[in-house]
Structure 1
Amino acid sequence: MLAKEAANIFGWSDPITEVTPVDIKSFDGALFPDDERKKWMLLYNSAMASPGRIRFTQAHELGHYILHRQERSAFQCSSDDMLEWEDKTIEAQADLFASFLLMPLDDFRAQVTTTVDLDVLGHCAERYGVSLTAAVLKWLNYTEENAVLILSREGFMQWAFPSRQAKRAGVFFATRKQTVEVPAGSIAVAPGVKHERRGIELPAKIWFPHAEAGTSLREMKISSDQYDYVLSLLILPRSATVWRRDEDRFKPWEANRPRG
């Protein structure tokens, strides 16, 4: 309803007239105009099993309509495009639009008033009708905690998304530049642990070899058989840093964006 009413809200003459499910594996969502560019069709992949993914995809495409429809003739978006929250691309802008539309920041903050774990963030996912991944990324986007979210498959990281504090502390992984293996000894690769929503305290050196001795982190884990991945959330003390001693901690860094 909101997508179809957007043109009336802004007084535009090229409305979205259709919001249509399609069973096409080549994209998660798309936005196409008619030949005369007088109306638009918003498509989403109905084969996605998660209602949260469908909801976020619809909001993402609405973001393209509101923000970018004058910049491109059409939009076709993959699952990777739904996870580009940090880059300064139109996909990242559409993701941020969707996150604020579906998860209003003031209300989101009000839900996260206790120790953060995947149960707390899972409550947020249910409240806003989004995926757990989207809810965790929303939290990481504003939190002052030293935290990073990692998606891995078969023992290798597909992407890693750090909070701002984590980037300052060196708590990130250069997954765009190299193949990064999930470390042995982590909960992420422990075969006997399928889910660990509250978190287990581990030495930070397991994940970050240059962390100071005695520093610990809390590792949480969710395994998805359907999508064949492991989602890991690591939270370190706010004061912790994991830079090598010979590294300049104040040099510019490249933020990691999710890709998967």
Structure 2
Amino acid sequence: MKLQFDKTIKAGDILTSLTIALSVIALVLSLAKDRESRAVDQGIMIRIAAANAIVKLDRWQSVQLSLYQELKPSFVESSESLEKKYDVEAVRNKFWRLVNGERIRISHQLLDEQLGTTYLDILSHFPAARAQYIEAFSKLATVEKQVSSDFLRKSQQTILNLDGKRSTYQMAVLVNTLQAQARKSESELKSKSDEVIAPVRDYLLKIIDLPDEKIIDASHNKQTSNSPFQRGATPASRLC
């Protein structure tokens, strides 16, 4: 008995094969589209988190710099107090209270605006950057304390140096001297905080500029060989 094979191809078989093939292609395209859509959505979320971190860093700097603008009325007030009653110790003590009261108000404002926790959103996507963010904010706090303490020390000394000089005292001289010291401290704080913030901002901008796929790959990279917030270290750019 000989076996015979049907060598004819039926139309139904062709249609069935085509249907299966088209279904597979449609599934693959759908999965690819879903993956692309998820990548786009995740990329947008990461970019928003990075942009918010930049905005909050700039806001932190702006709020800290406002100290020297807010203190301007106290310069006039101190000068007038000394004119009315020439007691340099009392005026110095009152000035100290005014400056520290303003610093406390700014600290509360930073807490209210949650500017000290600016890194939390971006860290949910880039956990490896946690240590670098904490280091950056530690440096910013140190810079602010050094500059404001130096300003307060010099300003108090300026007032105390007027002891025994009642006959030659001029209100405008004290006001102008305190304002000059404030401008110098404000400029110093901006310059030094810029040095800390600039590499953080550069790193975040590089993240924002990455394509969707690469920005996700970067977020999945748990190891960071160099600090992304040191000048010249740009791990995100190396993924391009």
TM-score, with structure 2 as normaliser: 0.21
Normalised by the length of structure 1, the TM-score is: 0.20
Task: Give the structure with the larger helix fraction.
Answer: 2
- Higher-RCO chain (CA-CA 8 Å, sequence separation at least 6): 2
Q: Which one has the bigger strand percentage?
A: 1
